[in-house]
Amino acid sequence: MSTPRIAIVGAGQAAAQAVETLIKRGHQGLITLLGDEGLLPYQRPPLSKKFLAGTLDRDRLLIRHGAHYTDHGVDLRVGFAAASIDRALRRIDIADGTSVEYDRLLLATGSHPRLLPLPGAELVGVHYLRSVADVDKLRAELAPGRRVVIIGGGYIGLEVAATCREAGLDVTVLEAADRVMNRVVSPAVSAFYEAEHARRGVQILCGARVDSLVPDSTRVAAVRLEDGHELAADFVLVAIGVVATDALARAAGLECDNGILVDEYCRTSDPHIWAAGDCARHPSIHYGMRVRLESVDNAFEQGTSAALNMLGIRTIHDKVPWFWSDQFDLKMVIVGLSAAHDEVVLRGDPAGRAFSVCYLRDGELIAVETVNHTKDQMAARKMIPARARPDLAKLADPAVALKDAV
């Protein structure tokens, strides 16, 4: 089939990158892009940072302007939710009663915030953060002196904490675990970020288990902890992680397990359907395990790989991922996956506000967390894919460049 009709469900980061790849590779068949948000594909990272702060225009979020899609003949349908997939007929049924036929389909439906399963979660003034529409609601709450309680001390909770604090709000972060970002960074990095937030007036309570949200009429007025303690709040942000948006795929009978299962070619259990981005769980060959990643880099790389494979250009998707988080003037970049490490080496002194934490397994460098350290980050992005085996003494010596530690 020389010009297959390609449909993409979801118009976010992975979808936009897949479209770019199809255009660059000169795909001549029809490309239909369906997005339920009513917006052109845009970048989400600024939603908790500059866009929330009001220092980045809405236009600057867009990955491409509308004319780009029109110029390349992309049938872009924003504001359209795919309701179901008829795999036998290769047809997507849209919520408005129309449908789109495809030869090849990419699911790039992303993820959505995990809901707070507690009494009071439905009150006015309780927010989540995933989309521009969420920011519009959240921003209306931001005013100096107002009290925000953020439930969840992960990246998004802490990024919003930093943005709100810089806007003069009174900020409290509640984290159920014994340290912030505990799922993704080392204790040294958690401790560093806790101290940096505290220094700027953010109150972080770890080991804080929320019991319920307390109303004043229909609006949230406080957060009650399991120990009975109450924290007054003008509004609340719930940031307790995301869940893969795989309901459409599950209903269509595709294999799913914490995301849509794909092979190393980004292909689902249906040979005509691929998946990429936050919604997909893929086998990482480098790490020897199946992973579902939530990052721009992953959406970009998987969107590219899936598009190439849909064009019949066999491309194994096996990238070492990386992720960043900006909080105040601190830039954290994590390269690789640390899950199976057996050794941790700290490079530099956190007091100097630029340091790294290196993770090894059987002597091989598998992940590096960097704080304000571009050189280590850049070196890690070359060394980890190359399976570098650094000398431990050199690795621990910040005077030796990371790239020279082998």
Ligand X SMILES: Cc1cc2nc3c(=O)[nH]c(=O)nc-3n(C[C@H](O)[C@H](O)[C@H](O)COP(=O)(O)OP(=O)(O)OC[C@H]3O[C@@H](n4cnc5c(N)ncnc54)[C@H](O)[C@@H]3O)c2cc1C
Shortest distance, position 400 Cβ to ligand X, whole Å: 29
Shortest distance, position 63 Cβ to ligand X, whole Å: 9
Q: Of the two residues 279 and 360, which places its CB atom closer to ligand X in the complex?
A: 279
Shortest distance, position 343 Cβ to ligand X, whole Å: 26
Cβ burial, residue 225 (10 Å; 0-12/13-18/19+): middle
Q: What are phi and psi of 38, to 5 degrees?
A: 80, 15
Q: Of the two residues 323 and 359, which places its CB atom closer to ligand X in the complex?
A: 323
Residues found near ligand X in the complex (CB under 6 A): 9-15, 34-37, 44-45, 47-48, 81-82, 108-110, 129-130, 156, 245, 248, 277-279, 294-297, 299, 323-325
User: Which residue number places its CB atom closest to ligand X?
Assistant: 12
Kindly report the number of other CB atoms within 10 A of residue 41's CB atom: 26
Q: What are phi and psi of 195, to 5 degrees?
A: -65, -40
Adjacent-strand bridge partners of 148: 171, 235
Q: Of the two residues 150 and 395, which places its CB atom closer to ligand X in the complex?
A: 150
Of 184, 190, 193, 174, the residue nearest 238 (C-alpha)? 174
Shortest distance, position 334 Cβ to ligand X, whole Å: 9
Q: Of the two residues 10 and 348, which places its CB atom closer to ligand X in the complex?
A: 10
Q: Of the two residues 177 and 243, which places its CB atom closer to ligand X in the complex?
A: 243
Shortest distance, position 216 Cβ to ligand X, whole Å: 28
Shortest distance, position 12 Cβ to ligand X, whole Å: 2
Q: Of the two residues 175 and 278, which places its CB atom closer to ligand X in the complex?
A: 278
Q: Of the two residues 37 and 194, which places its CB atom closer to ligand X in the complex?
A: 37
Shortest distance, position 345 Cβ to ligand X, whole Å: 25
Shortest distance, position 155 Cβ to ligand X, whole Å: 7
Q: Of the two residues 76 and 345, which places its CB atom closer to ligand X in the complex?
A: 76
